Structure 1
Amino acid sequence: MFIVSLPNIITVARILAVPLLVWLIAEERFHEAFWLFVAAGVSDAMDGFIARTFRARTKLGGYLDPIADKAMLVAVFLVLGYEALVPLWLVVLIVLRDIIIVGGVSVLTLMKERLAMQPLWISKVNTFAQIALAALVLAVYGPALAPESWIEPLVWLVAITTGWSLLGYFLRGLLILRTREEEREAGPT
């Protein structure tokens, strides 16, 4: 029984770490923030591994895990933008993308569309790039594990993949709506 809930406990701990991480960055305690961010990443991999290996996947975990990931990334980028460690326009792009995607999914759900929540491959690349950028910024200003010159190219990679991902989801949403309209025009079969 304990093993079934362990991945969810780890995920909830990751969610609870978000305010601490934000506070550490705001207080310019980048060294601690970097290691907490790394620990959150390790815990994300660990809860997924436990859930798969011990067949401990739960419906709750299916909702909590992406919420934990998104809460962590959005919060980190908001505070990094506020602290002027990443460009504000990038933070706006990242947050706007997430708002538009959630809004689109909400609209389609209200329209009674059955959605398979499969992320696009570019979205996976984008998430990886966002994680890498956040970790890099914290590594540069915390334990000085990388040169500051690496940040700007990664900023542009995140910007490009964020825009590409947004476009991909927008086009997927249009395709769903178009298919629905064509089915409605064809009438019942």
Structure 2
Amino acid sequence: MVMTFPNILTLLRICAVPFFAIAVWYGRTAEACLLFAAAGMTDLLDGWIARRFNQRSTVGAVLDPAADKLLMTTAFVMLAFPRETYAVRIPAWVSILAISRDVIISLVALVAYERLDPSKFMPSLLGKATTFVELVAISVALLFNHLGPRPWYRFLVPWVFYLIAAMVVASGIHYFFRATHASSEPA
């Protein structure tokens, strides 16, 4: 196994997850924002370096999405806990939808990996857009929690979570149809 620089960045992102969770748990909002932003930057950077300098690897193809799922799942779980000190928390039902979609997609990809061409399970544009909206919403929630309560949060924030839920359901259905279509194609 060859360790590339993008793989090292991905491992750093994985190592940051427990520290992010600790910061959120103890209400260290500035640190949580910083760690989440740094993790997001390593995600962008590792992908860019891998493509730009031809450092793609099998390890990276597995580690990168796993690191993303770990970070996102941790953020959804930690920000769904009721906390008096937080101005914004992610509704549990939104967290459950987002995590369930990721688990189901991962399971389908794992089961189908042996039977189907892995290139058919590349992330779709809708899946990438959903992940982007989730990242932005989590970042905004972290930032708003750092800034403290504002009256206008109650008008804006619920719509962001409805958008996430709609995109999660739509992309989950889309991946389901892609998987069933791919499995019905002759080999």
What range is the shorter-chain TM-score in?
A: 0.7 to 0.9
Task: Provide the aligned length of Structure 1 versus Structure 2.
Answer: 178
TM norm structure 1: 0.85
5+ long unaligned stretches in structure 1: 184-189
Q: Give, in whole Å, the separation in 1 of the partners of 2:185 and 2:81.
A: 42
RMSD over aligned CA atoms reads 2.2
8 Å CA contact 1:7–1:61 kept in 2: the answer is yes
Q: Against the structure 1 CA distance between its residues 106 and 49, is the aligned structure 2 distance closer, same or farther, given a 3 Å change threshold?
A: closer
1:142 partnered with 2:141 = no
Worse-superposed segment, 97-106 or 166-175: 97-106
Deviation at 1:175, TM superposition (A): 1.2
Q: Give, in whole Å, the separation in 2 of the partners of 1:58 and 1:102.
A: 19
Q: Give, in whole Å, the separation in 2 of the partners of 1:123 and 1:157.
A: 14
Aligned runs of 1:51-90 on 2, under 5 Å? Answer: 51-83=50-82, 85-90=89-94
**Counterpart position of 2:46:** 47
Deviation at 1:154, TM superposition (A): 1.1
Identity %: 30
Q: Give, in whole Å, the separation in 2 of the partners of 1:98 and 1:62.
A: 16
SS in 2 for 1:142: helix
Q: Against the structure 1 CA distance between its residues 106 and 43, is the aligned structure 2 distance closer, same or farther, given a 3 Å change threshold?
A: closer
Q: Give, in whole Å, the separation in 2 of the partners of 1:14 and 1:28.
A: 21
Q: Give, in whole Å, the separation in 1 of the partners of 2:46 and 2:111.
A: 31
- Larger-Rg structure: 1
Aligned runs of 1:54-133 on 2, under 5 Å? Answer: 54-83=53-82, 85-110=89-114, 112-116=115-119, 117-133=121-137
- The one-letter amino acid of 1:119's match is P
8 Å CA contact 2:116–2:183 kept in 1: the answer is no
Q: Against the structure 1 CA distance between its residues 174 and 51, is the aligned structure 2 distance closer, same or farther, given a 3 Å change threshold?
A: closer
Q: Against the structure 1 CA distance between its residues 28 and 7, is the aligned structure 2 distance closer, same or farther, given a 3 Å change threshold?
A: same
TM norm structure 2: 0.86
**CA offsets per residue over residues 89-148 of structure 1, 9 Å max, x none?**
0111011111211222233235x222313112111110001001110000001145x862
